[in-house]
């Protein structure tokens, strides 16, 4: 079992979003491999449909009402961070939402709550079974 670590005991929200970005990417890569995709070029191309700021903002919308208070707080702090460098292709709102989404996943990874990560990411990607994919789940 993991111990809850909150507030000042956590790394910065930008450090958490860095961890969350990697953890979300691993989830997506594993999901695609489980669908039977095995060519690295195709895996890389398809993973881009899930890891962009726009896609992560959409994924957050699916889990928003499922978040616990500490998760909401980390999201809020990351969303409101003043140290964000928005990429050219994302709206400011999508980029801030994606950063918050990543920070939540990063916090859960940092405290070792893999069960909660899987629960939230399964919900976030639950209706994407064949999205941009010709193979079966």
Answer whether CATH 1.10.8.640 is correct for domain 11-124. Answer: no
CA dihedral 69, 86, 89, 122 (to 10 degrees): -20
HSE, side-chain direction, 13 A CA sphere, residue 67: 23
Q: What is the pLDDT of residues 50-86, one digit of tens each?
A: 999 999 999 999 999 999 999 999 999 999 987 767 6
| pTM listed for this prediction | 0.85
Domain ranges of the chain: 11-124
Q: Sorting pLDDT into bands at 50, 70 and 90, what band is 89?
A: confident
Non-local CB neighbours of 76 within 8 Å, separated by 6+ positions: 100
Catalytic residue among 21, 70, 122, 130: 21
Q: What is the pLDDT of residues 9-30, one digit of tens each?
A: 789 999 999 999 999 999 999 9
How far is it, in rounded angstroms, from Cα 125 to Cα 67? 15
Active site residue 21: yes
């Amino acid at each position: 079992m993991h111990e809850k670590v909150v507030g000042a005991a956590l790394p910065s929200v930008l450090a958490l979003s860095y961890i969350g970005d990697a953890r979300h990417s691993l989830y997506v890569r594993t999901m695609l491999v489980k669908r039977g995709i095995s060519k690295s070029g195709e895996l890389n191309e398809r993973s881009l449909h899930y890891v962009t700021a726009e896609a992560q903002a959409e994924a957050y919308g699916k889990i928003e009402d499922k978040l616990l208070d500490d998760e909401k707080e980390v999201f809020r702090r990351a969303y409101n961070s003043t140290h964000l460098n928005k990429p050219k292709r994302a709206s400011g709102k999508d980029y801030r939402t994606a950063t918050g989404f990543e920070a939540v996943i990063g916090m859960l990874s940092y405290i070792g709550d893999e069960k909660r990560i899987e629960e939230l990411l399964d919900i976030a990607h639950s209706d994407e079974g064949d999205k941009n994919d010709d193979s079966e789940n």
